Amino acid sequence: MSPLLALARKEYLLLLRDPHALAVLFIMPILFLVLMAAALSNYLRDQPPPLSLVLEIEQGSEASAFFQHSLQEQLPGSHLLASSEEPLPRISLARNFSETLLETPHIGPTLSFPPRTDGQTRQRLRAALNIALAQTRLLAYLEDSDALDAGMSTEQRWQLIRQRTQSEISERQMLASGELSGKANASQLSVPAWLIFGMFFVALPMAGGFQREQQSGALLRFRALGLSPTTLVLSKLLPYLAINLLQFALLLAIGVYVLPLLGLSGLSLPGSPLAYVLLALSLSLAACSLGLLLAALARSGEQALLLGGGLNIILAAIGGIMVPKSVMPEAMSQLAEISPMSWALDAFLTLLVGQGSLADIAPDCARLLLFALVLGGGGLYLFRKRVQQTQWTTHY
């Protein structure tokens, strides 16, 4: 077995015997992924959730029945209750609702919200109420102008009004353009975000392993065997590069197959498989290069923990991992561009949400590869210097 393969095997064995490192690399991102996907499932979803609301009708009429039918059509799956003891949104129709439909200006129904009703629900109910009221008023105008057959049923009148008010809107997806985090559902945002976060934590076991080798004297013994610093560096990079790729595949598989079993939106992977392969390699190289630099900079295991953990959390906080960039202020969203996690997340969303291609994510992957080249080169230089200084010190 070549020295490089033997050293790489040693890194794998050390990692398998370290439950804390395995938890950081696999269990932590999986838990974050599932928990955050569940927490955001009602807020970030492709279809709005059904609602429960109270529709108070003081005096029933054909107009109020038509309004109720129209409102139900605007809120599919929602429950329109006549009364409720719970604090629910409430729409109240006045006793003279039918007689005032043709008045100008028109005073519409009363819409009441409990204090804890979120802004998205308020906006959705206002829009549904306005559409249902407009359709009901159109029906009243047609009836007043004798434009409707008196023998038409309620369903026939509803179909006629819907035809008069329905329009086909041509909608196109701007591929891989703009800020896409605001258009992603919970799975499309949570899976790549916490996958990236977990992959960058590879810096902790890399730096910790280097410190243990230096403090135990193993590094000097490797040098005494004639192993070059480049071989030592590769023996650390290659195993953790493979571990990063395993993380990438495992967390994507959880998003595709496990989340639907938990009642959450499953992840689909549109686009070319080569695009995901390029992104995985670019992201892995960037994470491992950062780990190599931190391993060469840290002077103790405690420093490695603080540098690696602290830097990862900062990069995640400003890079749109913990808070989507779509809700950040303009200054913060611009600051996010310095984080490699932001570049990786943008590339992911380009594929998952923007229906992008390999060419669309190439600029973000190029930035990740440049980041890996700069940090990897700096880490290799400092690593060689540390090894030489350690060897020189043993001679005196």
- How does DSSP assign 100-125, residue by residue? TTT-SS----EEE--TT--HHHHHHH
* Residue 134 and residue 246 share a domain: no
Write the DSSP string, 185-238: -HHHHHHHHHHHHHHHTTHHHHHHHHHHHHHHTHHHHHHHTT--HHHHHHHHHH
* Residue where a domain terminates, one of 165, 190, 209: 165
* Residue 277 and residue 211 share a domain: yes
Give the Å distances, CA to CA, from 369 to 26, 108, 279: 24, 59, 10
* Residue 105 and residue 68 share a domain: yes
* Residue 356 and residue 266 share a domain: yes
Whole-angstrom Cα distance, residue 205 to residue 23? 11
* Residue 370 and residue 305 share a domain: yes
| pTM of the predicted protein model | 0.69
Nearest to 375 by CA among 218, 228, 213, 206: 206
Whole-angstrom Cα distance, residue 54 to residue 178? 39
* Residue 58 and residue 29 share a domain: no
* Residue 221 and residue 160 share a domain: no
Say if 173 falls within a structural domain: no
* Residue where a domain terminates, one of 101, 131, 165: 165
Say if 221 falls within a structural domain: yes
* Residue where a domain terminates, one of 165, 191, 210: 165
Taking every pair of Cα atoms in the chain, the longest distance, rounded to a whole number of angstroms, is 108
Domain residue limits at 365: 3-43+182-394
Nearest to 371 by CA among 313, 276, 284: 284
**Is residue 112 a contact partner of residue 151, using CB atoms and an 8 Å limit?**
no
* Residue 236 and residue 381 share a domain: yes
Say if 172 falls within a structural domain: no
* Residue 131 and residue 59 share a domain: yes
* Residue 39 and residue 68 share a domain: no
* Residue 138 and residue 28 share a domain: no
User: Looking at the 3D structure of the chain, how many domains does it have?
Assistant: 2
User: What is the pLDDT, as a whole number, of residue 223?
Assistant: 67
**Is residue 53 a contact partner of residue 90, using CB atoms and an 8 Å limit?**
yes
Say if 170 falls within a structural domain: no
Tens digits of pLDDT across the chain (396 residues): 577 677 677 776 767 777 777 777 888 888 888 888 887 776 655 567 788 899 988 888 888 888 898 898 888 888 888 888 888 999 999 888 888 888 888 888 999 999 888 888 889 899 999 999 998 888 888 888 877 776 777 777 778 887 778 776 665 555 555 567 667 778 888 899 999 999 998 888 887 777 777 666 676 676 666 677 777 777 778 888 989 999 999 999 999 999 999 888 888 898 889 999 999 999 999 999 998 888 888 777 677 778 888 888 999 989 888 888 877 888 888 888 899 999 999 999 999 888 888 998 999 999 999 999 999 899 888 878 877 666 544 443
User: What is the pLDDT, as a whole number, of residue 302?
Assistant: 76
User: What is the pLDDT, as a whole number, of residue 2?
Assistant: 73
User: What is the pLDDT, as a whole number, of residue 178?
Assistant: 56
* Residue 307 and residue 284 share a domain: yes
Say if 174 falls within a structural domain: no
Say if 171 falls within a structural domain: no
User: What is the pLDDT, as a whole number, of residue 393?
Assistant: 47
Whole-angstrom Cα distance, residue 157 to residue 137? 13
Say if 224 falls within a structural domain: yes
Say if 261 falls within a structural domain: yes
Residue type, 60: G
The 3-state DSSP composition of the chain as helix, strand, coil percent (nearest 5) reads 65, 5, 30
